[in-house]
A = this chain, B = another copy of it.
Amino acid sequence: MAITIRTATPADVPQILAFIRALAAYEREPDAVLATEADLLRDGFGPHPFYECLIAEQAGHPAGFALYFFDYSTWLGRPGLYLEDIFVGLEFRGLGIGKALLQRVAAIAIEKNCPRLKWEVLDWNAPAVDFYRAMGAEFQDEWRNVRVSGEALQRLAGIPAAAPQTTEAAQ
């Protein structure tokens, strides 16, 4: 049956959040998703969208999604496309839906004059690694990913941590 790939609309937000949660569970971080429907609506469909999203449907049922944004290559002097999430529901695997989503994202990159498409994959996710390699992707394993978040970000920004409770105050 036919696979359809279409641009997400505000009505898809509950389904997008369900896909984000399913992907986080697959990535062994089921409790990591703090995003709400209101967040996704504001940031994807407001006056200044921070991401764009595609929905894959199999015979009318939502089967997967791809969520991307524009990054920037200072070497190429052009925005690139960064694929933050790509996911196909477990019951829809093996039908070519992941390939169709990735191909559509690549076509959008070409259409927007983006010279490259980047994303990340977990090193233990061998089926995904093999799939991406078969799609012509290169692995840039000399680059390590770094992040600062939470209290470490506040410390780096020079914002003092909340004062620790003294014994006296705790009594």
A147 closest partner in B (C-beta) = B118
Q: Nearest Cβ in chain B — how far from A141, in angstroms?
A: 6
A142 at the interface (CB under 8 A from B): yes
A125-151 CB mask vs B (1 if < 8 Å, else 0) is 000010010011111111111111110
A86-119 CB mask vs B (1 if < 8 Å, else 0) is 0000000000000000110011011000011111
Given contacts A43-B79, A50-B70, A110-B157, contact A144 B121 (CB under 8 A): yes
Q: Nearest Cβ in chain B — how far from A108, in angstroms?
A: 8
Q: How many copies does the complex hold?
A: 2
Taking residues whose C-beta sits less than 8 angstroms from the other chain, chain A's interface range is 35 or more
A8 at the interface (CB under 8 A from B): no
A37 closest partner in B (C-beta) = B77
Chain B hits for A36, CB < 8 A = 77
Contact assessment for A143 and B158 in the assembled complex, using a CB-CB cutoff below 8 Å:
no
A35 at the interface (CB under 8 A from B): yes
| Residue in contact with A50 in the complex, picked from B40, B51, B79, B119, CB distance below 8 Å | B79
A residues sitting closer than 8 Å to B (CB atoms) are 20, 24, 29, 32-36, 39-40, 43, 50-51, 67, 69-79, 82, 84-85, 102-103, 106-107, 109-110, 115-124, 129, 132, 135-150, 152-159
